[in-house]
Chain A
Amino acid sequence: MSAATRDPAPARIALVLLAAALAVAVFLLPLAAVLAEALRRGWEPAWSAISDPDSLAAIRLTLLVASISVPVNTVGGVAAAWAIAKCDFAGKRLLTTLIELPFSVSPVISGLVYVLLFGAQGYLGPWLRAQGIEIIFALPGLVLATVFVTFPFVARTLIPLMQEQGREEEEAAATLGAGGWQIFRRVTLPNVKWALLAGVLLCNARAMGEFGAVSVVSGHIRGQTNTMPLHVEILYNEYMFVGAFAVAALLALLGVVTLAAKTLLEMLTSRRIGEHV
């Protein structure tokens, strides 16, 4: 940077200090507040709130929902990325727009659409009830809503990278007689593995932390359809603040670990992952 494009030192220092102060207020204080509220009466009450049977049930349910939703969106996202980046067909832009659509839909609407389909007064509700199938206020509803809100994560981390990488390596492999699956596993996958991992991590963090969408379809049945974020809300509304903040701290830890892993993967690949996701 030449002298002409360098800001004067006092301006530089002032701007950096201002940014640092804002970062502390906007990002660090909220994290510290969660921790402080959780540990307000020491470790013991915080720990017993987390190891309470209802909390454990919520943790188990959250893990279960994520373990179904994340693989679904990983398979869908990889398939979409292959079709869009490695093949030719009309309507690619439209398809990409549709895949990113769930990001611009309110989480509450993401839950609402499934209630409209499968709820008691939904289009398929009466028929499902006659068959004895429960979707809303049960696990399938939680999974569907979670899949909806985390839908684009894997696809949108892979598509730009796979487009940039082009098709030469895959085409060379095809010329040498490799089949589609072989090409994907031996050529494409090694090229995108870190980005894929980052996409999966971001998808998982959102799946475990989702609140609005699952809140609409859950019915809040304690020990049965309460995920961790919903459990936080219930504890908070019952004035069990230490418990609410203790479970929230656990979720915050998930967010911070995801962020650290993403930063690490970005350093590893020296490229930004999941820009404005």
Chain B
Amino acid sequence: MSASAAIAPRSARRRQALPGLGLTLGVTFAWLGAIVIVPLAALALKPWELGVAGVVAALAEPRVLAAFRMSFGGALAAALASVPVGLLFAWVITRYRFPGRRVLDALIDLPFALPTAVAGLALTALFASNGWLGAPIEALTGWKVAYTPAGVIVALFFVALPFMVRTVEPVLRDLPLDTEEAAATLGATRLQTIRRVVLPALAPAMLTGFGLGFARAVGEYGSVIFIAGNMPMISEIAPLLIVVKLEQFSYAAAAAIGLAMLVLSFAILLLLNLWQRRLRRGLG
């Protein structure tokens, strides 16, 4: 909001002060329409070539249901795991000064910048039975990570983590220190202050970060398919099933899976949004 808008008398209908609205809006709509709106409309239309019963049948296939469970369940687990780790990173880079802080800060964005296929290959090499992390984990616990559902969750955690850090961090930085001081003055221990004052203030941002990380993880493909092993019914993700259906030229079934993924993840994001609104109201 510009300051002058508040001071200047508002005329009944403000004339456009700056030129270019027609041109820039025209370019924007052409760009948005051709690239996003029309193609997504095709996605919304195509499944119904199968009829309603056909769409239901396509989605009720056991293999499809298992893939949805893997993608949505895995994304949920990864987003949950990103909460404590993301909080730790955000806390350390905003509250402490230590050598290498800037490097750590920059590294957190690596999953954004690293091509997903590279991340997939790297994580597979790390977590394979003879990998730097896979070998000790298997020796200590007997668990295999690569080529199992655990591998899927590891890859999804990698892509979801930066969202949590980057949404919590600005809120943590802007959090007024005097509320923490007040809590301390009133006799709260440091842990009590963090649990009762800091964490509730961060809760809405944590939900946003959770939602962003979850949304990204649900649709993730490149970093997952190398480490997943892609066993139908066990470690196969929903986006891979779209690829499989396309290879069989079942366009409508592929579209049905894609549309269901979008609708389901938007519904979950909407719920998170409502929950977040309640939290904010609680904070006053």
Contacts and interface: CB of A to CB of B under 8 A. Distances in A.
Interface in A226-254: 229-230, 232-233, 236, 244-245, 248, 251-252, 254
Contacts of A36: 125
B110 A27 contact: yes
Contact of A184 (B20, B111, B121, B216): B20
B43 A109 contact: yes
A255 B118 contact: yes
A64 interface: no
Contact of A113 (B19, B40, B177, B215): B40
Contacts, number: 305
Contacts of B19: 174, 179-180, 183
Contact of B2 (A28, A112, A168, A244): A168
Given A4-B181, A80-B31, A112 B269 contact: no
Given A87-B18, A106-B239, A211 B92 contact: no
Interface in B10-41: 14, 16-21, 23-25, 27-28, 31-32, 35-40
B21 A8 contact: no
A243 B2 CA distance: 55
A255 B110 contact: yes
A121 interface: yes
A37 B38 CA distance: 43
A82 interface: yes
B147 interface: no
B50 interface: no
Contact of B35 (A116, A147, A179, A183): A147
B104 A26 contact: no
A120 B249 contact: yes
A224 interface: no
Given A8-B190, A30-B119, A248-B121, A112 B35 contact: no
Given A114-B39, A119-B251, A252-B114, A106 B261 contact: yes
Contacts of B95: 7
A204 B4 CA distance: 37
A87 B32 CA distance: 18
Interface-central residue, A29, A102, A211, by most chain B CB under 10 Å: A211
Interface in B28-61: 28, 31-32, 35-40, 42-43, 46
Interface string B175-186: 001001100110
Interface-central residue, B132, B185, B190, B222, by most chain A CB under 10 Å: B222
A160 B222 CA distance: 30
Contact of A116 (B23, B107, B251): B251
A235 to B, nearest CB: 10
18 contacts: A4-B180, A12-B96, A23-B89, A33-B126, A37-B125, A76-B27, A76-B28, A80-B28, A95-B28, A98-B32, A106-B261, A112-B43, A113-B43, A115-B251, A251-B117, A252-B114, A252-B115, A276-B209
Given A28-B107, A33-B122, A116-B43, 13 more contacts: A26-B85, A29-B132, A31-B114, A34-B121, A37-B125, A80-B24, A87-B21, A106-B221, A107-B220, A112-B43, A112-B242, A211-B115, A211-B116
